[in-house]
């Protein structure tokens, strides 16, 4: 189940963003275990979701924003430079892993990408989520991410 929500038209009109989201959803859909993905603002406003019920969206988006903000605050992370960095938070409960990655650089403000999956190793989920967050950040900002493979070329 994919939920597409009303978002600022500029967000989805950025070349490649919709395609990147759809490819993320395709990979999750192919997993035989429960999966979900959430793209939200750091303030907890849902932009897009997959694998979550409509009734869970608002609460899940708000919790994602709060958990990530609390983690950033408690670790003392501050964005002191103009160079945006992808931050990662991992949560494991039983066999289920959630990786939340910051998606900096959008003119509409920073976003968070949260991917939850069972039956996937945590290192793989972390690498995959980080890569998707870097790609989204690059597309939304119009600039190659400092750690992206395109920035190195």
Q: What is the DSSP string of 118-152?
A: ESS-HHHHHHHHHHHHHHHHHHHHTS--TTSHHHH
- pLDDT at position 70 is 87
The contacts of residue 58 (CB under 8 Å, 6+ apart) are 44, 46
- pLDDT at position 102 is 93
Q: Which DSSP symbol is given to 107?
A: T
The contacts of residue 50 (CB under 8 Å, 6+ apart) are 1, 2, 3, 24, 25, 28, 29, 35, 36, 37, 38
Q: What is the dihedral of CA 1, 55, 126, 72, to 10 degrees?
A: 160
- pLDDT at position 64 is 93
Q: How far is CA 104 from CA 53, 67, 92, 113, in A?
A: 26, 17, 24, 10
- pLDDT at position 55 is 87
Question: For residue 18, what are its two tokens?
Answer: 């919709």
Rounded Cα distance between 85 and 67, Å, is 18
The boundaries of the domain holding residue 67 are 2-152
- Report yes or no: 59 and 44 within 8 Å, Cβ to Cβ: no
Query: 13-33 pLDDT, tens per residue?
Result: 677 888 898 899 999 999 889
- pLDDT at position 73 is 58
- Report yes or no: 122 and 92 within 8 Å, Cβ to Cβ: yes
Domain count, the chain: 1
- pLDDT at position 19 is 87
Rounded Cα distance between 28 and 124, Å, is 13
Residues in the chain predicted with pLDDT less than 70, given as ranges, are 1-13, 72-84, 143-153
The CATH code of the domain that includes 8 is 3.30.450.30
């Amino acid at each position: 189940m994919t939920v597409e929500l009303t978002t600022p038209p500029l967000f989805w009109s950025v070349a490649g963003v919709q395609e990147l989201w759809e490819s993320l959803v395709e990979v999750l859909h192919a997993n035989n275990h429960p999966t979900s993905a959430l793209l939200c603002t750091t303030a907890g406003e849902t932009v897009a979701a997959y694998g979550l019920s409509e009734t869970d969206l608002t609460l899940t988006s708000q919790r994602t924003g709060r958990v990530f903000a609390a983690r950033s605050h408690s670790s003392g992370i501050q964005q002191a430079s103009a160079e945006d960095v992808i931050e990662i938070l991992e949560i494991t409960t039983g066999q289920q892993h959630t990786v939340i990655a910051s998606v900096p650089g959008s003119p509409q403000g920073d976003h968070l990408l949260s991917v939850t999956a069972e039956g996937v190793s945590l290192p793989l989920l972390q690498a995959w989520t980080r890569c998707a967050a870097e790609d989204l950040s690059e597309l939304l900002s119009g600039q190659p991410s400092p750690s992206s493979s395109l920035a190195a070329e």
